[in-house]
Amino acid sequence: MGFAKRLATLNLKVYDAGILRMLGSNPGLTQQALSKLLGVFPSQLVRLLDTLEERKLVERRDTPGDRRRYQLHLTAKGRAVLARIGELTAELERDLFAGLSERERTLVQRLLTRVVAQQRITPGVHPAYKQLGRKRA
């Protein structure tokens, strides 16, 4: 079973998991900074955040000194869901690499890291975010 299907058991999409992961590593990130980091149109990100906020996974807090900006934080429920996403990720990795030795897994990881760098992909940010809200040519 792929990652998207595993996430569906939590009623999440891959985009939701990426946002939760980013906020877990960067508490207090502003919506503008997250939009830039993910390469997502701000209006599209607002819709994604609204859904996560409705589910009580994310909360927006006023930025001290600038009430026009919001800082984003995971709620306790959001942190618990993020932990579960980590477990699902570990399960997926075990399934994907079950036929490889530890040495081979390390080699695959090194090679994929080089590909990511060569392609100028932001580590931890799936390139599909840039397609959110854009019409196909």
Q: What's the distance, Cα to Cα, between the start and end of the chain in Å? A: 31
The chain-wide mean pLDDT, for the chain, equals: 89
- Which of these, 52, 44, 101, lies nearest to 79 by C-alpha position? 52
Is 21 in contact with 82 (CB distance < 8 Å)? yes
> What are the angstrom distances between the C-alpha of 104 and each of 98, 107, 111?
11, 5, 11
pLDDT digits (tens, 9 = 90+) for 50-72: 999 999 999 999 888 777 788 99
Nearest-angstrom CA–CA distance, 21 and 16:
9
Entry pTM: 0.84
All domains in the chain, ordered by first residue: 3-131 (1.10.10.10)
Residue 126 has pLDDT above 90, yes or no: no
pLDDT the model gives residue 116: 87
pLDDT digits (tens, 9 = 90+) for 18-57: 999 999 999 999 999 999 888 888 889 999 999 999 999 9
Which two three-digit tokens encode residue 117?
């760098």
pLDDT the model gives residue 136: 42
pLDDT the model gives residue 127: 67
Q: Specify burial of residue 17 (Cβ count, 10 A radius: 0-12, 13-18, 19+).
A: buried
Exposed e or buried b for every residue in 20-46, given b needs 16+ CB within 10 A? bbbbbeeeebbbeebbeebebeeebbe
Q: What are phi and psi of 16, to 5 degrees?
A: -60, -45
- Report, as an integer, the average pLDDT of 117-121: 87
Residue 96 has pLDDT above 80, yes or no: yes
